[in-house]
Structure 1
Amino acid sequence: MCNGSLDVVHLDSHHISKDIKTWEDCLPHVEFAYNCTVHSDGKKKADFVRQFYEKARLNIERRTEQYAKQANRGRSKLVFEPGDWVWLHMRKERFPAQRHSKLLPRGDGPFHVLECINDNAYKLDLPGEYNVNATFNVTDLSPFDAVDDLWTNPFQEEGNDVNPGFVTG
C-alpha cells in the first residue's frame, strides 16, 4: 500500500472486527475519526507558525519605527495655535491667478490662523480676493516672525527700503 492514510486505517482495522464486510463499512468512520483527532505533531507545527508570524510582525514594526525615525531626523514639527500669524506658500495648482508668472512672489501673508483642524490642517483668515478654500496643509505654512518682515517687497506700492534705525551722517 502506498497511500499513507490507508495504511493508518489498516492499523486501526484490528479494533473493528475480523469480518471483512463490516471492516469495509466502518472504514470511512474510522478514517474520519482519525483525521479529526488532534495530533501532537500538528500542534508543534501550528505553534511554530504562530511564533514565526509573531516574530515577523515584531520585526516589521521595529523596522518601520527605524525607517520613520531616520526619515523624520532633522524635521521639526510645526504646530500653530489659533491666533498665530503665518506665511502662506502659494502653489500654482491652488493659486493660478497669483502664480501666473515666475517673477511673482511665491508666498503671501501674514495671515491669521482661525482654527486648528488637526496637527496637519489649519484654517486661515484669507481675504476674498483669493477665491480658494481657507483650509491649508501645514506644509504650505511657515511661522511669521516680525523680524523677518524687514525684507523688501518690490510689489508694494510704497516699499520698505528705509531702515528706521539707520542714522545718516
Structure 2
Amino acid sequence: MLRCLVLEHPRQWEDVLSKAEFTYNAMTNRSTGKTPFSIVYTKSPNLALDIAVLPKCKSSSAATFTDTYKEMIDNVRQQILSSNQRYKDAVDAHRRQSLFKVGDLGMVRLRRERFPTGTYSKLSRRKIGPVLIIAKINDNAYTVALHADCNTSPTFNVSDIWAYKPPDDGIILVSSSELSSSEPGED
C-alpha cells in the first residue's frame, strides 16, 4: 500500500503513513466482514470511542451497549474461526498423506537450501533415489540412507519423500557398501 502511495517520491513515506493506516483500518476485512475500526471502536472512523474496559454501572443503555458490543465481538470471533476453517479445508484438499515404514524405498527431493553455497545447479537432479528409509522420527519426518557423496542431512520432511515405483517388477537390492562408502565409486 505504501509503495502505491509514494510511487514517485519514495523518501516521503512518513508523510503518507498515517493516511495509509487510516485507510487500512477503514477497509472491510475479508475474514471478519467488518472494518478494524468497527471492531475496535464499534463505530465508523468519525468517532474514536475505545470501550476496552467499562466499569459496572446501573445505566440500562450502557449495559445494552456493552452487551451488543460483546455479541458483535463473539460474532467476529466466529467468523474468523469459520474463515480459518475454510482456508484449512482449501489447503488440505491439495495435501497428500504419506506414511512410510522403515525399510521402504523412496525418492527424496533435494531443495535448493540443502546444497552447500555455490554447488546448486538449476539443471541438477531434483529427486534422488531409490533410498532406504531407515528411521521414522514422526509422521512428518523420516531419516533415509543417503549416498556418501550427498553432503546434506539425511532427515527429510514427508513432503519431500515419494514412494519409489520401480520401472519393472525386478527386485531392488541396496547394498550396505553403497550406503557406507566415503568416496564415490569405492567398494
State whether residues 57 and 63 of structure 2, in contact with CA within 8 Å, keep that contact through their aligned partners in structure 1.
no
Q: Higher mean Cα deviation, 66-75 or 54-63?
A: 66-75
TM-score (norm 2): 0.50
Unpaired segments ≥5 residues, structure 2 = 1-54, 171-187
User: Where does residue 95 of structure 1 map in the other structure?
Assistant: 115
Q: Does residue 75 of the first structure (1) align with residue 75 of the second (2)?
A: no
* Structure exhibiting the larger radius of gyration computed from Cα positions: 1
TM-score (norm 1): 0.55
Change (3 A) 1:149 1:110: farther
Q: Does residue 114 of the first structure (1) align with residue 113 of the second (2)?
A: no
Q: Secondary structure at 1:69's aligned position in 2?
A: helix
CA distance in structure 1 between the aligned counterparts of 2:154 and 2:104, rounded to whole angstroms: 15
Number of residue-to-residue matches in the alignment: 115
Richer in helix (by share): 1
CA distance in structure 1 between the aligned counterparts of 2:73 and 2:168, rounded to whole angstroms: 54
CA distance in structure 1 between the aligned counterparts of 2:160 and 2:57, rounded to whole angstroms: 64
The alignment-based identity, stated in percent, is 30
Q: Does residue 140 of the first structure (1) align with residue 160 of the second (2)?
A: yes
Quote the offset at 1:56 in angstroms: 0.9
Q: RMSD of aligned C-alpha atoms?
A: 2.9
Unpaired segments ≥5 residues, structure 1 = 1-34, 151-169
